[in-house]
Structure 1
Amino acid sequence: MKIFLTVGSQKFQFNRLLRQIDLLVQEGRMKDEIFAQTGYCDYTPKYYRFKQFLDRDAFEENIREADIVITHGGTGAIINAVKQEKKVIAVPRLARYGEHVDDHQTQILKEFEEMNLICACNNVENLEQALEEVKHCSYAKYDSNTHTIIGSIEDYIEDLKK
């Protein structure tokens, strides 16, 4: 399987996730092809390919080619992947590790998981189990409500014309 790991582009490190994947690869517990976009992390992966930042086209291509996307708990990365019907493992950035200003990503992941769109992995030590889960589970298809919102705006504009 091909895995794309993205930790976002905000100015926070997520070394904890990168290290865990390195450990799993080093110990032979993760044998998938992995490519990572490491952002502002200062940890350098030893056992998988990476690039600090990707342009939009390269980012989209990596998601398109991936079987599984492992990401932080940011809505943009998650929605982008589920729209393309990718299996997603999302790990929240946590304030206590200096990965974000608060722990809001845990709530975001809870909501996505309750909609059966992703596998939320709230503890990086459970990443190996999360990988096994996504390889054998089916997830709901993402249903965007963009058309509904646009329709409401168009109706509102039409009403203003009357």
Structure 2
Amino acid sequence: MSAQLDTHTAAKSLFVCSTGGHLTELRRIEERDGINPDSLWVTFDTPQSRQALEGRRVHYLPYVGPRDLKGTLRSVPSLRRVLRGESFDAAVSTGAAIAAAALPLATLHGIPSIYIESVCRLRGPSTTGKLLMAVPGVELRTQHAEWAGGRWSACPSILDSFRSEERLAPEGPLRVFITLGTIRGYRFDSVIDAFLSTGLANETTVWQLGDTTRTDALPGNVYDYLSPDEFAFEAARADVVITHAGVGTLVELLSMGIYPVQAIRRALRNEHVDDHQLEIAELVETNGIGIPVEGPGLTEEVIRYAAGRRIVDGRLAKVETV
């Protein structure tokens, strides 16, 4: 029997995921399907998870990196204790590596288990998804019907309810928030250089640079990293947000009503390990929920276009009209 999350009587679920975009996606899925206060979250202890899951039941695991087999195996004893300690109606995960340990264990305990592949996987499953294909009993779901089939069934995308519309563009100088993410070991100078060349940088510009430290004096306020609260504050008061093309940041901005300029990190410029952000950019463009550009392609025209648009969450609009 297919494991279901009832939208009227929310299941007591075990939610297991990595932090970052995986946590952002799973939170939105839970909000859509219904929140049960008895559900338990299993994730890593980070500023993001502490803020996002405040007031919720949480069990923290030591960090497990992508494709970290040893770290995944080290998490097994702790996961077993959780599963032996109480009963759950369902176990749900959006990845990453931790799902490959948690869902098979949940299945062995007789708990209906669901793996929902990330919305950024447009053409097929991730490594975790491929591993779970070998585990009987785990229900596999994709947010893209185009590659559903076999064991993979289609489910609604977390982006389906978002749409963009025009808004009155601000007059005068623009307040711009540029956030380059927190990925370590990769710079993103192309975005900074392109933005400076537009002439739009001013004393209200806010920069979150991550590993892209600069020796030149950038106008405005410059930070290496921002807390989740600080990030939300700067994004909310900006006229335009220019962000790296990460799915977690994308969903957070859309949920705030922000139409983002998504700057794409490319491997050929040593901005990322691969070009997976091209898929996210394609998704954004297809859905009309942002404007993707490669770093050198960031222009004043692009920025001013974004200043004249906003995001509406149709799911919230339906709630307000009830």
TM range (shorter): 0.7 to 0.9
Q: Tell me how far apart the structure 1 counterparts of residues 292 and 306 of structure 2 sit (CA, whole Å).
A: 10
Partners of 2:179 and 2:228 in 1: how far apart? Answer: 13
| Structure 1 pair 76–5 and aligned structure 2 pair: CA distance change class (3 A) | same
**Counterpart contact for 1:113–1:119, Cα < 8 Å:** yes
CA distance in 2, matches of 1:51, 1:140: 26
Residue aligning to 1:5: 178
Matches within 5 A, 1:14-53: 14-24=188-198, 29-30=199-200, 33-44=204-215, 46-48=217-219, 49-53=221-225
Instruction: Give ranges in structure 2 of 5+ residues lacking alignment.
Output: 1-173, 316-322
Counterpart Cα distance in 1 of 2:276 and 2:268:
12
1:133-148 equivalences under 5 Å are: 133-136=305-308, 138-142=309-313
Q: What 5-or-longer segments of structure 1 have no aligned partner? A: 145-162
Deviations 1:88-119 (A, max 9, x none): 10010000111101111111011012111101
Residue 86 of structure 1 is matched in structure 2 by 258
| 1:43 shift after superposition | 2.5
Scaled by the length of structure 1, the TM-score of the pair is 0.76
Greater length-normalized contact order (CA 8 Å, ≥ 6 residues apart): 1
Give a deviation string over 1:49-103, Cα, whole Å, max 9, x none.
Answer: 2111112211121112122110011111111111111121001000011110111
* Other-structure match for 2:238: 66
Aligned in 2, Cα 1:142/1:93: closer, same or farther, shift over 3 Å? Answer: farther
Aligned pair in 2 of structure 1 residues 143, 77: CA closer, same or farther (>3 Å)? farther
RMSD across aligned C-alpha pairs, in angstroms? Answer: 2.1
Q: Quick check: 1:5–1:35 contact (8 Å CA) kept in 2? A: yes
Note closer, same or farther for the CA distance 1:31–1:99 as it changes in structure 2 (3 Å cut): closer
Aligned residues: 140
**C-alpha separation in 1, matches of 2:310 and 2:236:** 17
How much has 1:143 moved relative to structure 2?
Answer: 5.1
Identity over the aligned pairs, expressed in percent? Answer: 22
Q: Which has the larger radius of gyration?
A: 2
Aligned to 2:283: 111
User: 1:51, 1:123 → 2: CA distance?
Assistant: 20
Question: Secondary structure in 2 aligned to 1:110?
Answer: helix
Q: Does 1:76 align with 2:244?
A: no
Question: Partner of 2:300 in structure 1?
Answer: 128
TM-score, normalised via structure 2 length: 0.40
- The 2-side partners of 1:19 and 1:45 are apart by 11
Residue pair 2:236, 2:256 contacting (<8 A) in 1 also: yes
Q: 1:2 touches 1:66 (CA, 8 Å); kept in 2?
A: yes
> How far is the alpha carbon of 1:44 from its aligned partner?
4.1
Q: Is the CA contact 2:195–2:201 (under 8 Å) kept in the aligned structure 1? A: no
Q: 2:274 aligns to what?
A: 102
Structure 1 letter corresponding to 2:284: F
State the shift of 1:139 in Å.
Answer: 5.0
Letter of the 1:52 counterpart: D
Q: Which amino acid aligns with 2:176?
A: I
C-alpha displacement of 1:21: 1.7
Greater shift in the superposed pair: 71-80 or 47-56: 47-56
